[in-house]
Structure 1
């Protein structure tokens, strides 16, 4: 029986072959990750003009889309991967992105603005794991295909003009990154000071990573700007040069169009900042942010529901086998515990 990752790849390859016969058709891929129930599936469906009712993403899911840039031109193909479960399935981020396709990939990080206490930890965990994986791939390519590795490292800086005042101060993500703040309709009802802190923090993080930033929510008209950014990455459509930095409106800041001078310092008094010990500017912003919005530890573990226990996925034979395996695992744990205790007594 093939592994889930193999089955997903076979599906992706089959769809690419089916739609990629036209000469000159390009292929890109995007990995959507972020807050649990943050609206990733809805964003993907709307970007592909599908009116389906979104269903919860259980692990790693795949779909695709085709678009032509003009009349009588071949349709380009975009592969859309979505990681479900918030931060509970971090290891799956390694499956879609490989050394063979890293040059065509982009990351879309969706953060739930209505849950500010989970925002930083979700962002940090997902970007850290993804960046570590990307860096390993680039290091590997440096040994097997140095030309491609150099191309990726140079492309990291494409969104930032060399004469930008912050050119030496940022740390761009290895591949294109879009940060989407979802549920703006709820966020808009927050206290103005809370909104200011969240907006400034996300502006700094996005600028620091050389990423684009956009806020979305209900109604669907708020998704239009996000679609522009995603269509640019997925199908090569023209990139928007408009910008909106007003904290009283949905933010829209394409990569490279913000600046540290416009963002300003972390939202805290000089005396408070002086008391904080931070290794990097990013670490300083994190400490200031978490002082206002203390992180909820293990929030994903507390809130997540095991799909295996969901009645809608019930299958008698599989469930019976799972119960047996769980019992065997518990017995193994008890036996292992006994053997360690015996070893301790003997010693």
Structure 2
């Protein structure tokens, strides 16, 4: 549970190189808010969430509820100056908006060096930004990931792709989001770990609101998913009916994916999602618009359509048939589809792509 008092957060973002120099343009995104559990969970917003979840009145809140709902009931701090700095870079001031969030970019200097310890567990480059809010005496640090000019970028949805959510059933979605322990999709943490190499960057995109950043980051860390940038959704809780619309956010996903592709025109992209919402249609459009950058598309089948249904033929029209797959489980994806894609990358790139060491008969866990 979040401690009482004022808080400053910096979210994990990404930076892109500025030409052939050692300068990078780093995304900055953070949040400033106040929290008092006793007072905040008596607010109308907390009661709105309880009603939406059909929680009984007059009884203690169930496990996970307060931890997951905290971001929705905090008091956001707007109109505050936050200083953002990086080693060797003068600080830049950014201002929080009404929702407590602040955004911008910072030009930083960073030279990848094998002796430098600024690397993820799988060897990709990262660095740290520092944030300071003087009046409240708050400081924070946040990771910025630095993909190279070339390599493989894996863009992955979260809900029903790597985390079980059941987005298709709104009642179950809310229960799995606010009331139950998070569960990973079988085999996906292990698959992502085997894909993790120094030339590979990860970008997690979800329609989950930013209010749940702590829970999302905790899930990724607990289940050993590789480090990467996190891209969630701006969301304002105004009434009970809007809760049912928490997750659809196709325009946000498209904006994030296209931004990454435009910033890294020489990198290849592997798009991973599921069929529960509009990932097939969105990814198909992206592949047609950026055919040279789209290495492949993998969507987990969570709907009633068969993998060879009209829906997917339309979604992936004019996308090479060996570049997309609708899969049922991580083992089939790993054994039957990804080796061909990675071989295609190997033929086009100098860096050695990931090798998936799957022994015969091995089961994903």
Shorter-normalised TM range: 0.3 to 0.5
As a proportion of its length, which structure holds more strand? 2
**Larger Cα-atom Rg:** 1
**TM-score, with length taken from structure 2:** 0.32
